[in-house]
Amino acid sequence: MALKIFDKGSDSRPMLCEYDVISIDAGWHGKKRVQVCREERVCLEVNGVSIASLTVSPRELAEFACGYCITEGIARDISDIEEVRIEGDRLCVSAPGIDPCTLSRPREVRTSGCVGFVQDDREFDRVLPPGARVTRGVIYSAMERLNDHAVLWRETGGTHCTVLYDAGGTAVSCAEDVGRHNSVDKAIGKALLAGADPGGTFLCCSGRMPEGMVSKVYHAGIPVVVTNNAPSAAGIDLARRVRLTLAGFVRPPRMNIYSVPERILVD
């Protein structure tokens, strides 16, 4: 059965607003009108159970809800989700086949700013299969093109961007959001809804890569994640445990590969 989405106009919500500011530059100051990112609070419900109140950029909410359910381990596969209904600030997900106990786990606020489930250590006993292998050249090109997808960032400087690429460097999906964790959820949700195989992709993003972010990529089944920023020690330890390739400070011609380097090939 195809996943049904009922969205009452969320994708027409404005992403930006304008403010008058005093701008100071070398030898000059004066009034200026600037574009600023909007954010809204939404409440995510799964099977009628309130999961979390989250702050997001106010578009692509159905994709966000699907991605969040996958990356937090609520649903194991996009086929587990039957329906997403957007009603004002409520994101209502129907996934009748999931274990009700999954929804009763305690929540935590992570260093990324995301509200997520406290992870059962046993969830990480399964290691990722080999999956995609990517050349350094493709990774460098992907990182250099990240800002091409970051339309709102170029206007405001206020968003994070995530892009999923296939092993050849073709963009599969992309998303921007005020939260880097939200941009990951949205990009993954968009890719899965489009029928992409996550095992054949790698994830390219801005922002730090702590444990909670690595966990999201792992739950989605993506074998490689690269960022132009730093990982945390816990993020590296988890990536090594689950055999996920993690590269940070990807700024051509440099990168640090922290785990499973064999997936990144010399050109």
Catalytic residues: 114
Candidates 183, 188, 182, 177; CA nearest to 153 is 177
Cα atoms in the 13 Å half-sphere on the side-chain side of 213? 31
> Cα separation of 60 and 103, whole Å?
23
**Phi, psi of 147, deg, nearest 5:** -70, -20
> Cα separation of 231 and 258, whole Å?
9
Burial class for 169, CB neighbours closer than 10 Å (0-12, 13-18, 19+): middle
> Cα separation of 64 and 44, whole Å?
10
Neighbouring CB atoms inside 10 A of 47's CB total 16
> Cα separation of 241 and 126, whole Å?
9
